[in-house]
Amino acid sequence: MPDGKLAGKVAVVTGAGSGIGRAIAVLFGRECARVAALDVQHGLAESAADEIRRAGGSASAFHCDVSAQAEVLAAFRSVQDVLGPIDILVNNAGVSHVGTVETTTEADLDRIYAINVKGVYNCLHAAVPLMKGRGGAILNLASVLSTVGVPDRFAYAMSKGAVLTMTYSVACDYVRDGIRCNCISPGRVHTPFVDGYLAKNYPGREAEMFEKLSRTQPIGRMGTPEEIAKLAVFLCSDEAAFITGSNVPIDGGFATLKV
């Protein structure tokens, strides 16, 4: 598909092994990007890259712990050596946490910060110098919790608020370098994390609680990773050339509709 929306682009997707990251990586491949699938679990990254290649796309897998700056810098150098100059970065890698400020331990907070905040910084720190002089598109995965309070998500909301403000900062600092930086703020999306959370906390009641969580979205259901991926393609494509410094909600109306 030489006329794909991302044809000729090299795209780095972190956390590409599963969930939203995998859906983004696979759709980027279908849209003719050369995809660098990064994940701390190399087997999952390789599986995603294999899926892209089986569909006729171009992809390579790279092991990367986004919380370790030296490893991130090495991974980005390897991407350039294998695939060429980087045009797109999707900061998707992240972990979740359930708890209030009282129940969140120091270790919990440090882990969330290391991956969700420092991990995004590490990848921005690696990618921006490579994009300066050429331009590029950066997309960060924030959350509806960046701007809306939800019970029992203290540390996770903290981290996604940081992702939102990092997005604004990078967009401001590098707009004259031709680097666009935006973020997506999903509501509840049906990923393996949701299934694992329900199995752990509501054994035997998974279906009931899944429906309850789905109904918290005004639209009446959770989103799908593929829906997030379609928005990611648009924001990283030349069709969105006039969009930077934006936080785009994709949450079934959660943040704004009171129904």
Q: Which residues are catalytic?
A: 156
What is the distance between the alpha carbons of residues 19 and 31, in angstroms, rounded to a whole number?
19
Q: Which residues contact 13 (CB under 8 A, 6 or more apart)?
A: 21, 24, 25, 28, 35, 36, 37, 38, 90, 92
Q: What is the CA radius of gyration of the chain?
A: 18
At 27, list the tokens: 């759709």
In angstroms, what CA-CA distances link 69 with 56, 65, 114, 123, 126?
A: 33, 8, 10, 8, 8
Closest CA to 231 of 165, 187, 170, 172: 187
3-state helix, strand, coil in the chain (%, to 5): 50, 15, 35
Is the separation of the CB atoms in 202 and 160 below 8 Å? no
What is the distance between the alpha carbons of residues 139 and 13, in angstroms, rounded to a whole number?
10
Is the separation of the CB atoms in 91 and 142 below 8 Å? no
Interhelix angle 118-131/69-83, nearest 10 degrees: 40
- The C-alpha torsion from 92 through 176 and 243 to 17, rounded to 10°, is -10
- DSSP three-state, residue 149: coil
At 13, list the tokens: 């997707």
